Chains A and B, each alone.
Chain A
């Protein structure tokens, strides 16, 4: 239902924008859009897991920024050994997610407060590590493989992310863990009384989110060839947008990854189109906020029928 509506909206947006600006449907532009989608989609997938299990992760942007800096530093220290650096960065992201999970499940802090705190914590650490500067990363093989390279006309990062999407979708729909995520999000009490380890499920969701954010960070570094501490600021808002747009319920237990994918596509195309029309960053942000509220309102109205 939701996905049908999104496809229609998408079609409308594409048609409208292509009429207004003929450059919209050029391959150059589409490649751009697709590459930009990769980062948002990666974050969105992890965020969806957390939201489906009934929690929220506001620190996604900070984990992303942290991982770009960690990766850049690691590259410098290991003499551009990409593989090792990727592994290190993913581990850092994993631990960041783990901390989130522990604060929520073991320490008992509401995920909104806990991840708002780690948002500041991780961002602060990021800036402090490199004293506010930026670290360039110059390693063409890496940048090509994970950033600017193309397979035909499809950017490589997009392919990786689609692979991740497919795998995670299967995990969510077909694995024991994935099915349990839905139940925990549907009703934590029922899940617990049914013998599901709810704390563990939530913990793993946060872990996935953290790791995926780290991967998204690596993708960005590959494209911009720099580790910048301010990267990812505000991404948590975007994550909420695409996930809710894609049909996930804020209370948990409802939503799909293909829906998130569609949400990412719609938002990315919309932003791209608006940018081409000359809208600046702030106007786009305003449109995003209003669109989110509108979609939630619509969603509530439909559900109440």
Chain B
């Protein structure tokens, strides 16, 4: 009996080695930081930490699906930024419904644009979305005159930032909700299955009767809409809409880093919602801890860049050892 349990555990271990590594890293980091700085293991800090990472979590989950399908979306950052601007402008009319509707519609529009650029114009998705990112940020600055616009709508704050649901801060609630929804979507629906199929081998997927172009369209739109939601959360938290470059800085890079740490590869076909979830936690702890250790943003940037290189390299080595051909 014991043997069977051990064997089962080993099988799970082998399959989930990445998630387990991440979990272990999280625990280790937390322990290290707790000892190294007095500011870390404080309730307030932890609460802040979790709330702040919700935005990155949401965006990274979307990026995970994107990478799994074989594409990249660098414009998520731009969507977050312009959503904050849209919120700031539309909230003048004091209708949450209007704000959300306009923001979501725009998100869908950007998703469709990304799709067209990638499939019709045939620009590699990373370049097309990069161009869109630049356009979106620039547009945000043009609309706001490069000045932040304050949001004053209390309803908005309560609904998306300061409120509570069952005593859980609303951003955390939404983050978790989205995590569960996306987890089910990716792992328990045909759509999720097809996303991995298209990312793994578009040719074979098409031969099996999967409408690959429709799947890609759905993925692009989904990612943009998710980013829109992240933008709403962020705008509610900081109470401004702005195109400033320090706003949502490098979110594109961070979301890709989290997704890759969670198991995505640039070639597509791999990825894990749970893995990304854990990665975001690890990154948040790292970020927070380093900040308390007086690392500057730039020094953290160095750490994160090295982390990306190491993670991709380790992933390649792991795949090679399994005898599989690396799909970059």
**Interface, chain A (partner B; CB < 8 A):** 56, 103, 107-110, 112-114, 116-121, 123-128, 132, 229, 234, 237, 240, 250, 280-283, 285-286, 288-290, 292-293, 296-297, 300
> Which partner residue on chain A sits nearest B267 by CB separation?
A110
For chain B, which range describes its interface: under 10, 10 to 19, 20 to 34, or 35 or more residues? 35 or more
8 contacts between A and B (CB under 8 A): A110-B328, A120-B302, A123-B301, A127-B298, A240-B131, A250-B124, A282-B142, A286-B135
B306 within 8 A of A: yes
CA distance A67 to B142 in the complex (A): 32
CA distance A219 to B137 in the complex (A): 28
CA distance A118 to B328 in the complex (A): 17
CA distance A117 to B252 in the complex (A): 12
B309 touches A103 (CB 8 A): yes
Closest CB of chain A to B24's CB: distance in Å? 23
B190 within 8 A of A: no
Stretch at the interface among B42-50, B115-123, B176-184: B115-123
Closest CB of chain A to B118's CB: distance in Å? 11
Majority secondary structure, B binding face? helix
B138 touches A121 (CB 8 A): no
Q: A127-B298, A250-B127 are in contact. List 17 more A-B contacts (CB 8 A).
A: A107-B309, A107-B316, A113-B266, A113-B308, A114-B309, A116-B308, A120-B301, A121-B302, A127-B299, A128-B302, A280-B142, A282-B141, A286-B135, A286-B142, A292-B131, A293-B132, A300-B121
Task: Collect the chain B residues with CB atoms within 8 Å of residue A286's CB.
Answer: 134-135, 138-139, 142
> Which partner residue on chain A sits nearest B308 by CB separation?
A117
B305 within 8 A of A: yes
Count CB-based A-B contacts (< 8 Å). 119
Task: Collect the chain A residues with CB atoms within 8 Å of residue B301's CB.
Answer: 120-121, 123-124
A128 touches B298 (CB 8 A): yes
B130 touches A109 (CB 8 A): no
Task: Collect the chain B residues with CB atoms within 8 Å of residue A297's CB.
Answer: 121
B298 touches A132 (CB 8 A): yes
> Which partner residue on chain A sits nearest B316 by CB separation?
A108
Please judge, given known A-B contacts A132-B298, A280-B146, whether A116 and B138 are in contact too, CB under 8 Å: no
CA distance A132 to B142 in the complex (A): 28
Q: Residue among A119, A124, A132, A292 with the most chain B CB within 10 A? A: A124
CA distance A285 to B305 in the complex (A): 26
CA distance A182 to B304 in the complex (A): 34
Task: Collect the chain A residues with CB atoms within 8 Å of residue B72's CB.
Answer: 112
Partner pick for A283 among B134, B142, B253, B298, CB 8 A cutoff = B142
B34 within 8 A of A: no
B126 within 8 A of A: yes
CB-defined interface of B308-326 with A at 8 Å, one 1/0 digit per residue? 1100110010000000001
B134 touches A285 (CB 8 A): yes
Task: Collect the chain A residues with CB atoms within 8 Å of residue B253's CB.
Answer: 116, 120
A124 touches B309 (CB 8 A): no
Closest CB of chain A to B105's CB: distance in Å? 20
Please judge, given known A-B contacts A109-B312, A128-B296, whether A120 and B139 are in contact too, CB under 8 Å: no
Task: Collect the chain B residues with CB atoms within 8 Å of residue A109's CB.
Answer: 309, 312-313, 316, 328
B250 within 8 A of A: yes
Task: Collect the chain B residues with CB atoms within 8 Å of residue A125's CB.
Answer: 302
A117 touches B131 (CB 8 A): no
Closest CB of chain B to A235's CB: distance in Å? 12
